[in-house]
Amino acid sequence: MPHNGHRTGRRNQIQAAAEQLFREKGYLATSMRDIADEMHMKGGGSLYAHIKGKEDLLWDIAQEAVRAFFSALEPILAKDISPDQKLREAMIAHVLVITSHLGATAVYFDEWRHLGDVRRAEFMQHRERYERLFQRLIHESVESGALNVRDERLATIYVLGSLNAIRRWYKPGGRLSAQKLAEAVADLALNGLHQP
Amino acid sequence: MPHNGHRTGRRNQIQAAAEQLFREKGYLATSMRDIADEMHMKGGGSLYAHIKGKEDLLWDIAQEAVRAFFSALEPILAKDISPDQKLREAMIAHVLVITSHLGATAVYFDEWRHLGDVRRAEFMQHRERYERLFQRLIHESVESGALNVRDERLATIYVLGSLNAIRRWYKPGGRLSAQKLAEAVADLALNGLHQP
DNA sequence: GTCTATATAATGATAGAC
DNA sequence: GTCTATCATTATATAGAC
C-alpha cells in the first residue's frame, strides 16, 4: 500500500536521493527522471508507485528538517541550567543539525518557497515558532544579566543568520570535526552579542 | 542594433524587471512570459529584440553584482587608515551593497548556479577574489594587533556569511536606516572576532 | 519594437504490460 | 514494483506580419 502515510524502505531511499539532488541542483532543476536515475530506475514513472507527486517529496523533506531542529532544541530548553548556557548549547545544536542534515536543511533554508500556498504557510509558522524560541533564550539571557544587547530582535536574526551560513561552505570530512566547528562558529556569534 | 553589447534604456528596464523576479521567485521559476508581463508586453517573444536569451540576463545581473561589490571595496582598500578601520568600513560597505542591490545580490548569492559552466566558473573566480581581499584585511588587522582570531580562514567565512544573511530579512523602509543597520550588523560580526 | 503564431524540447504525471 | 510508452502542459526561442 504505497503513499498512504506509511514509510517503506524504498520510499526513504527516494527521499534521500531527492534531498541530495534538491541540495545540489535545486528543486526546480531536479526532474523526476534525475531522481529515478539516482535510484537506478529506468524512467521517472516508477517513482509514482511510492509517492503521489514531486511536491510531496519537498514537503516531507521540509518537515523532516523542522523535526530535526525542534528535536535538537527542546531537550536543551528543558535542562536546568542558566539561560546563557542554554543559548550556547542551542546554538551548537543548531549548527550540528545543519551539518548532519545538509540536504533537508537546504530545503529548510532555500527550496521551501516552491511549496504550494497552504504548505508554505504552515512551514513558515514552524520556522517562526523556532525563531521565537531562540529569541526567548536571548531575552532571558539579557534579563539574567549574562548578556547585554541593545536590540534583542536584531540579535536573534543576526545569530541565526550567522549560524545558518555554515551550510554554504561546510563539507564533511574537513580539518575540523562538526562538533569543533559548531562550537567555534557558535562562540564567534555569541561573542558578537557581548558588546565592548 | 540590439544585443550587441550596447545597453539601451529598454534593455535596462528588462534587466531590472528580471532582477526583481529572479529575487522573488528564483531564476528557474521565472519565465520569459513573466518578465514580458512585468514589461507590459503581450508575449515573451518581444523580449528577444533586446536580449539573446534568458541566461544572458542572469549573467549580466551577476556581473552587475560583482561590479557593485568591488566598486564599494576598492576605494576603502586605497585609504590611508589602519587595517581594522578598513575592515570595519569594508563590512559596512558590503552590507550597503546588499541592501541597495537586493535583486542583483540575490543572483550573486543564490541564482548564479544556473549559469552555464563557463560563465559559472568565471563568476566563482570573481567571488573568490573578493573573499581573498576580505581575508587579507583580517590578516593585516591581526598582524597590526588590532584583532585576535585563532583561525583567519574561519573568521573570513564567518564574517562574510554573517553579513550576507541580511539579504534574507532586510526590507527597505524599516525602522532602521540601511546605514544604521549596516553599522549594527558589522559591529555584531566584528565583536565576534574579539575573543574574550 | 511589438505582435501573433509556432517550432522544439523537456517536464510532471498516467496507463497498462509484466 | 518496475518497465515502456505516452499524454498534457509549459518552457525557451524563432519567424514573419505590421
* Range(s) of the domain holding residue B18: 1-52
Per-residue pLDDT at B4 exceeds 80: no
Burial of B133 (0-12, 13-18, 19+ CB in 10 A): middle
> A161 and B166: CB-CB below 8 Å?
yes
Instruction: Estimate in Å the CA A164 to C1' C13 gap, whole number.
Output: 35
- A149 and A124 share a domain? yes
Closest CA relative to residue B134, chosen from B104, B100, B162: B162
* pLDDT in the model for residue A1: 45
Chain B interface test: which of A162, A183, A185 (most B C-beta within 10 Å): A162
A55 touches chain B (CB under 8 A): no
**CB proximity B161 to A under 8 Å:** yes
pLDDT tens digits, B130-160: 999 999 999 999 999 999 999 999 999 999 9
Q: What average pLDDT score do residues A160-187 get?
A: 96
| Nearest chain B CA: its distance from A23 CA (Å) | 12
Work out the average pLDDT over B78-101: 98
Q: Which of B29, B157, B194 sits opposite A196 (nearest CB)?
A: B194
Asked if B29 reaches chain A (Cβ–Cβ under 8 Å), the answer is yes
A47 at interface of B, judged by CB pairs closer than 8 A: no
Same domain membership, residue A127 and residue A188:
yes
User: In this structure, are A65 and A158 located in the same domain?
Assistant: yes
Residue B5's pLDDT is what? Answer: 53
Q: What is the pLDDT of residues A106-142, one digit of tens each?
A: 999 999 999 999 999 999 999 999 999 999 999 999 9
Is A157's Cβ below 8 Å from some Cβ in B?
A: yes
Task: Collect all residues of chain A within an 8 Å Cβ-Cβ radius of residue B29.
Answer: 28, 114
- Is A110's CB within 8 Å of B113's CB? no
3 state SS for chain A = CCCCCCCCHHHHHHHHHHHHHHHHHCCCCCCHHHHHHHCCCCCHHHHHHCCCCHHHHHHHHHHHHHHHHHHHHHHHHCCCCCHHHHHHHHHHHHHHHHHHCHHHHHHHHCHHHHCCHHHHHHHHHHHHHHHHHHHHHHHHHHHCCCCCCCCHHHHHHHHHHHHHHHHHCCCCCCCCCHHHHHHHHHHHHHHHHCCC
Positive/negative CA dihedral, B8, B11, B17, B19: negative
When pLDDT is cut at 50, 70 and 90, the band that residue B1 belongs to is very low
Among B152, B157, B158, B183, the residue to mutate for chain A (most A Cβ within 10 A): B158
**pLDDT tens across A100-110, in order?**
999 999 999 99
Q: Are residues A16 and A74 in the same domain?
A: no
| Together in a domain, B70 and B18 | no
Half-sphere exposure of A52 (CA within 13 A, CB side): 10
CATH number, domain with residue A35: 1.10.10.60
Same domain membership, residue B71 and residue B48? no
